[in-house]
């Protein structure tokens, strides 16, 4: 099955990396970037593992990242929207440093806690 889709995936990766400026601009689009990268991740995972697995995996990644985001907001830390990267996961960026180690740990544990509660 991998050989069947290898050409499509290679073409997609070449397109993405070839147009890196466009991809970087996508990160500045806020919530649209989250939705767009979510759908791209679902599509790429579905090519390999089927749509049910793809939707479930991206859902879990979304909940995990929202845990980090909500924990950061609770502590007053500004963040960027979540960005999904196929085969790597997802991320949110903190726009400022946590004031101490306790705050950093609170934000770090927010993701796994939300992920655990969503199961």
Q: Which 8-state DSSP code applies to residue 75?
A: T
Of the candidates 33, 102, 91, 42, the one whose C-alpha atom is nearest the C-alpha of residue 65 is 91
pLDDT, position 95: 92
pLDDT, position 29: 63
Give me the residue spans of the domains in the chain: 2-118
pLDDT, position 34: 86
pLDDT, position 70: 95
pLDDT, position 30: 66
Residues 6+ apart with CB under 8 A from 89: 61
pLDDT, position 32: 80
Q: Residues 101-109: contacts with CB within 8 Å, 24+ apart? A: 103/75, 103/77, 106/71, 106/74, 106/75, 107/68, 107/71, 107/72, 107/75, 107/77, 108/68, 109/71
pLDDT, position 8: 75
Tokens in use for 80? Answer: 């960027």
Residues 6+ apart with CB under 8 A from 29: 36
pLDDT, position 22: 57
Question: From the CB of residue 42, how many other CB atoms can be counted at a distance below 10 Å?
Answer: 20
The tens place of each residue's pLDDT in the chain, 119 residues long, gives: 556 666 777 777 666 666 555 555 655 666 788 888 899 999 999 999 999 999 999 999 999 999 999 999 999 999 988 999 998 899 998 999 999 999 999 999 999 999 899 87
């Amino acid at each position: 099955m991998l050989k069947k889709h290898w050409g499509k995936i290679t073409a997609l990766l070449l397109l993405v990396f070839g147009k890196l400026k466009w991809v970087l601009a996508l990160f500045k689009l806020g919530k649209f970037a989250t939705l767009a990268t979510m759908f791209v991740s679902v599509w790429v995972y579905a090519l390999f593992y089927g749509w049910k697995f793809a939707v479930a995996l991206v859902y879990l990644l979304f909940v995990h990242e929202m845990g980090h985001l909500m924990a950061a907001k609770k502590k007053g830390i500004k963040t960027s929207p979540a960005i999904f990267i196929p085969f790597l996961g997802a991320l949110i960026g903190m726009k400022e440093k946590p004031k101490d180690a306790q705050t950093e740990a609170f934000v770090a544990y927010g993701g796994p806690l939300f992920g655990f509660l969503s199961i």
